[in-house]
A = this chain, B = another copy of it.
Amino acid sequence: MKKQPKKPVTLADIAAKAAVTPMTVSRVINSSGYVHTDTRERVMRVAREMNYRRNGLARGLKRQCTETVGMVIGDIANPFAAELSRAVREVLEEHGYTLFICISEHTAKEDVQAFDSLADHRADGIIVATRASKSGNERLAELIDSGVPVSLIGRDFRHEHADLASADNLKGGYEATTHLIEKGHKRIGFIGVSLTQGLRLRRFQGYLEALKDHGLAVEDQLIVGGRDIGEQMPGYSTEEMGYDGMTKLLELPNRPTAVFARNDFTAMGALNAIKRANLRIPDDLAIIGYDDIPLASHTSPALTTVRQPTREQGRCAAEFLLRRIEGDREQPRVEKTFPCDLIVRESTTLLRELTSSGNRKREIKTA
């Protein structure tokens, strides 16, 4: 009497065995409507015996919702994205939604693919945490127009009906740079973008603005790394970029005294290059990262960096999305920007500053 495992058990199968109609079984499974206690127990027993699993496809088709949310991120293995997804999941779970994650590997093509997959499989909503791209934005706009609830995290894209949670990376970059300037640095490099591509990166804009506001010149040769070919680079390999970029900077006849790295991984690669060159940090070269990944406090010297409120952004985006899913899909856009915090650690702080405070602005000699 062993059954073929091929065909999954359906409500009808259970109904037959329990001498009721599929509708009654449905009521039992969903605990909705009236069912007599005896019947309920009988049905439940049979369902368990037959190892019933509900069919989400049929259910979703009929009910027009799947209790599922998709999230698109550019790069797994990025502590920032990890924390984001964790926060998103937390919120969704409280509301009974399941999170499915798609990875775009930072390419526009797979970004679009991910949107399509999620939309086609009728996710109730989509959270987008990937970098903007032309084709991605277009497809996104199409989906939003056709009624798919969308919530963005730090993506440079606006739409009337898509909410946005982001960090104030412009200010973060500004403060990081200002921090270095206040330490007396006048020649500050940036690792991780090309000048042309960089304009899309808010923290880089902050860097430029800070230099300008303090009357410092932007030197092309101090801006290194970043490939112009569409940034097809998974974040995890950016330490390579940091190492290479810093190596390039060190070869300059007149090298910078401080460096702002695009993110902490880049900073760690740079850190390594500096050490290999037998230079002292921060005495010979100060360095600042971005994101405050867990490792940042575990390098030596510990990395000065900028923390963005990751959990908050994730939770916020999830809440925005749920409001849209469960409420009016056409409601006007909401946008929330979270402030960033400068986390000062050793990589920008001279040892003597650590003990004696005061006299902050000080000239640091160029090498």
Chain A residues engaging chain B, CB cutoff 8 angstroms: 5-6, 8-9, 51, 53-58, 60-61, 66, 68, 70, 75-79, 81-83, 85-86, 89, 98-103, 105, 113, 116-117, 119-122, 142-143, 145-147, 234, 236-237, 239-240, 242-243, 265, 268-269, 272, 275-276, 293-295, 298-300, 329-330
- Assess the B53–A120 pair: CB atoms within 8 A: yes
Contacting residues, chain B, for A269 (C-beta < 8 A): 298
Known: A55-B122, A98-B117, A272-B300. 19 other contacts (CB 8 A): A5-B329, A8-B146, A53-B119, A53-B146, A55-B120, A61-B61, A70-B100, A76-B77, A82-B236, A85-B103, A86-B103, A89-B103, A100-B117, A101-B101, A101-B103, A237-B294, A240-B294, A240-B298, A295-B295
* 25 interchain pairs, CB-CB under 8 A: A9-B146, A51-B142, A53-B143, A55-B120, A55-B122, A56-B120, A56-B121, A57-B122, A58-B61, A61-B61, A76-B85, A76-B86, A76-B101, A79-B236, A82-B234, A86-B103, A89-B103, A98-B113, A100-B101, A101-B103, A121-B121, A236-B294, A240-B298, A272-B299, A276-B300
> Which 10 A-B residue pairs are closest in the complex by CB-CB distance?
A77-B82, A5-B147, A56-B121, A100-B100, A101-B101, A76-B82, A56-B120, A57-B61, A98-B117, A275-B300
A56 interface neighbour in B102, B113, B122, B237, Cβ under 8 Å:
B122
Considering only CB atoms, which chain B residue lies closest to A272 in the complex? B298
* Known contacts A57-B61, A77-B77, A102 near B99 by CB under 8 Å: yes
- Assess the B5–A146 pair: CB atoms within 8 A: yes
Q: How far is the CB of A354 from chain B (nearest CB, A)?
A: 14
A168 to B337, CA, bound (A): 47
Q: How far is the CB of A297 from chain B (nearest CB, A)?
A: 9
A145 to B51, CA, bound (A): 10
* Known contacts A77-B79, A121-B66, A239 near B295 by CB under 8 Å: yes
A8 interface neighbour in B147, B243, B294, B298, Cβ under 8 Å:
B147
Q: How far is the CB of A90 from chain B (nearest CB, A)?
A: 10
- Assess the A6–B147 pair: CB atoms within 8 A: yes
A76 to B80, CA, bound (A): 10
Contacting residues, chain B, for A6 (C-beta < 8 A): 147, 329
A113 to B67, CA, bound (A): 14
Contacting residues, chain B, for A145 (C-beta < 8 A): 5, 51
Q: How far is the CB of A17 from chain B (nearest CB, A)?
A: 16
- Assess the A54–B120 pair: CB atoms within 8 A: yes
A236 to B122, CA, bound (A): 32
- Assess the B275–A295 pair: CB atoms within 8 A: no
Contacting residues, chain B, for A300 (C-beta < 8 A): 272, 275-276
Contacting residues, chain B, for A120 (C-beta < 8 A): 53-56
Considering only CB atoms, which chain B residue lies closest to A144 in the complex? B5
- Assess the A102–B105 pair: CB atoms within 8 A: no
Considering only CB atoms, which chain B residue lies closest to A274 in the complex? B300
